[in-house]
Amino acid sequence: MTGVSLVLEGKVALITGGSRGIGAETVRLFTEAGARVAFSYRQARERAEALAAECGGPERCVALEQDLSTPADGRALVGAALGVFGRLDVLVVNHGIWPPDDAPITQMAETQWRRTIGVNLDSVFGLVQSAVKQMELQTQPESKAGEPSGHIVLISSTAGQRGEANHADYAVTKGALISLTKSLSSELAPKGIRVNCVAPGWVATEMSAGTVNHPELGPKVAAGIPVGRVGHAREIAGPVLFLCTPLAGFISGEVLNVNGGAVLVG
């Protein structure tokens, strides 16, 4: 019996925020699928280098140190990835910050607002702009099977669809990524570049650990998810990989909710 494989052999992917959590699992899955992967990190050098070595080393996987808070930062990261592998077929925008302390809008510091916008949105503009320029240079007419020539996946959130009280800065950026997905899909699908979005809910990562592991807050979070638990990082990485394979060649501009059904009951 022959199984169905999700294969990206010969492709090059850039994954932002790849040293931990959802990003690290995405790096692992993409290399397992045959892609060469460049991923960014900001501070965790040892962890990033260990992950790159685990996933095949310099010929298959490289870690790139890059702050991402401005459009110029995004453009620089794409340039660095191209310097390593010479092409770019997939961009996964996974990095982002979620200030954990509640900040009512009347008390939210302007510095927090600007920082969240800069990391979660401004840098994405530079990343997407440079990635699309490169993909357009590489674009060939789609095959008879309709296989796309490039893929972009933006990681949004349930907060981008239903908002999040006391975290307006974060919700605004994630909602903007959904609008960006739809705009880019209309613009780029005719050129063979597919743009889609994955919207996780609560996932067990370092960023969310303070809440999901809290003795009072953790059970409340789980109770608000129809499947009864938070997600695992690999459960987000899998759908991201799928969207970048030929099996998803007819999907464009989609917001794929991977949140245990939480977005429907919030």
**Looking up tokens 């019996």, which residue turns up?**
1
Structure tokens at 243: 């969207």
41 classed as catalytic: no
Structure tokens at 24: 């690290």
**pLDDT tens-digit series, residues 4-43:** 778 999 999 999 999 999 999 999 999 999 999 999 999 9
CA distance 70 to 38: 19
Query: Does the pLDDT value for residue 264 go beyond 90?
Result: no
- The pLDDT value recorded for residue 222 is 82
Task: Identify residue 11 by its one-letter amino acid code.
Answer: K
Q: Is the dihedral of CA 161, 163, 167, 173 positive or negative?
A: positive
CA distance 56 to 31: 8
**pLDDT-wise least confident of 152-166, 168-182, 195-209, 238-252:** 195-209
- Measured in degrees and rounded to the nearest 5, phi and psi for residue 59 equal -75, -20
Q: How far is CA 125 from CA 23, 131, 227, 244, in A?
A: 19, 10, 34, 20
Structure tokens at 76: 């620089």
Query: Does the pLDDT value for residue 246 go beyond 60?
Result: yes
- The pLDDT value recorded for residue 144 is 44
Query: Does the pLDDT value for residue 219 go beyond 90?
Result: no
Asked if 19 and 45 count as a contact pair (C-beta separation under 8 A), the reply is: no
**pLDDT tens-digit series, residues 36-67:** 999 999 999 999 999 999 999 999 999 999 99
**Domain architecture of the chain: domains with CATH:** 12-264 (3.40.50.720)
From the candidates 39, 41, 85, 170, which is the catalytic residue?
A: 170
- Which of 220, 103, 246 is closest to 170 using CA atoms? 103
**pTM to 2 decimal places:** 0.93
Give the rounded percent of residues in the chain with a pLDDT score beyond 70: 95
